[in-house]
Amino acid sequence: MANKSNKDLDAKSMDKVDLTNRLLADMASLCHSESYADVEFLVEEQKLPAHRVVLAVRSEYFRALLYGGMSESTQRQIKLDVRLDLFKLLLEYIYTGTLLLPTMKEDVVIDMLGTADHYGFQELQLGISKYLTQSLTLKNVCAVLNTSRLHNLEDLNQACLAFMDDNASNLLQEESLNLLSKESLEMVLQRDSFYATEGEIFQGVLKWSRCNPTLVTETLWDVVRLPLMGIQSLVEEVRPLEIMGSNKILDAIAQTFSKKLPYRSRLILEKNVATAEYSARCTEVKLGAKYNINHIRLMLWDKGIQEYSYFIEVSVDKINWERVIDYSQYHLGTRILNTADSEFYVVSLEAMHTNNVPRLFGHLVSPVDNIMILIGLAPKELSSV
C-alpha cells in the first residue's frame, strides 16, 4: 500500500516542472547588468542599464514611458530626476519582487514611499506602509506622518495618529516634533484624543514655532485649548510672551468658567477602562485618566429583593457634572423596592469606547436576544409576571 502511494506521488511530481526559484535567480541576475540591456537611465550622473520589456511588464509607468509613443520610447538613454539610492532599490524590487526593509536605513524606507508612489508601485507602497505601521517610534512617527499625508495613505495616517495619541506627553518632549509640517501638527492637536495637559501642548507648540520661525503660526494657537490651562497659567505664562492679543487671553479666561470645556481624553477601543489595569478606583468610580467613553455597562446585584432607580453623571473637575444616563424614572431590580436599604449594589462595571454601539430605542438599549426566559410556569402564574 505504501509503495503504491509513493508511486502516485512520483507520478504527480512528474506532471509539473517547478523551477520558480531558478527563474527568480535568473531575473535577479539581470538587475544592474548590461547583458541584453536596451535602455540606460541617467540618475545623478550615473548610468544604470535596464531592460525595456522587464520594466514594461512590471510597471504601467514604464510601459507608458518606453512603449507609449513618447520621445523616451526611441531614446537609448533617459535622464530621471530621482535620488540614486532610491532608484537602485526600486530596480532591485522590479527585478526580484523583494525589498529587505529591515536592512535599510529608516529614512530611506520612509522616502521609498514617495518613490513607489511616483512610479506607480502601489503594492510596494502598501508593503512599506504595513512595515512602518509596526515600526513606529517617537523619533520617526512625525516624519512618517508627513510622508503618509503627502501620499494620501489613510491607514498609515491613522496608525501614526493613534500612536501619537497614546504617547502624547512624551512626543511633545521629542526634538522630532519640530519636523512635523504645520498642517500635520494642527491635525494632531485638533484631536480630542491627543491626551496631554494643555500646558504641555502649549510648550510643545511654542518650541515648534521657535524652530520654524519662517512659518506663520497664528492658526496653530487656535488649536491650543487655552481655557484648559487655567487662569493662573494664562496670566503668568502666556500673557508675558506677547505671542497673542490680550483679547484672546481674556476670552480664554472667561471660558474657564464654562461648564462645558473642550477637554481632551484618552481613546482606547474595546477595553474596559474602569479596572485596576487602567488605575481606576471604585470608591466613587474614579478613572485613572480622562477617557473618551461611549459605552457604560453595569451588572447589578439581583440575588435579593432590591429595586434600583439610578442616573450616571460624569465630571472632569468634580465640580461641574453632566448627566449622561438617566434611569431615575425606571425601576430595575428583582421584585419590590427595599426602602430600608439605601445601598447600591454593583457587581461589575464596564466603561469603554466601542465601535459596536447597541441600537437604542429612545435612550434605552433595544435587545436583540430574548432577555427573559420563563420555565415551568403555569398560565395563571405567567399572567401575573
Q: What is the pLDDT of residues 304-360, one digit of tens each?
A: 555 666 677 787 777 777 787 777 666 655 444 444 445 556 667 788 888 877 777
Instruction: Taking residues 245-272, report their average pLDDT.
Output: 88
Q: What pLDDT is attached to residue 337?
A: 42
CATH of the structural domain 24-135, one choice from 3.30.710.10, 3.40.50.1220, 1.20.120.530, 2.30.180.10: 3.30.710.10
Hey, do 24-135 and 153-264 end up sharing a CATH topology, with the first three levels equal? no
Q: What pLDDT is attached to residue 27?
A: 80
Q: Backbone phi, then psi, for 60, in 5-degree steps?
A: -65, -35
Residue 230 has pLDDT above 50, yes or no: yes
Please tell me the distance from the alpha carbon of residue 264 to that of residue 302, in angstroms, as a whole number: 37
Question: Could you write out the DSSP letters of every residue in 26-48?
Answer: HHHHTTT--TT--EEEEETTEEE
Residue 176 has pLDDT above 70, yes or no: yes
| CA distance to 42, 156, 167, 202, 223, per residue, from 173 (Å) | 43, 23, 10, 12, 18
Q: What pLDDT is attached to residue 345?
A: 62
Q: Over the chain, what is the mean pLDDT?
A: 83
| Per-residue pLDDT band at 219 (split at 50, 70, 90) | confident
Extents of the domains making up the chain: 24-135, 153-264, 276-383
pTM: 0.71
The rounded percent of the chain whose pLDDT value lies above 90 is 50
153-264 CATH: 1.25.40
More confident call, 339 vs 247: 247
Residue type, position 189, single letter: L
Q: Record the cell numbers describing residue 331, joined without a space.
A: 425601576
Please tell me the distance from the alpha carbon of residue 195 to that of residue 192, in angstroms, as a whole number: 7
Residue 154 has pLDDT above 90, yes or no: yes
Lowest mean pLDDT among 17-21, 169-173, 235-239, 336-340: 336-340
Q: What pLDDT is attached to residue 136?
A: 97
Instruction: Taking residues 125-144, report their average pLDDT.
Output: 96
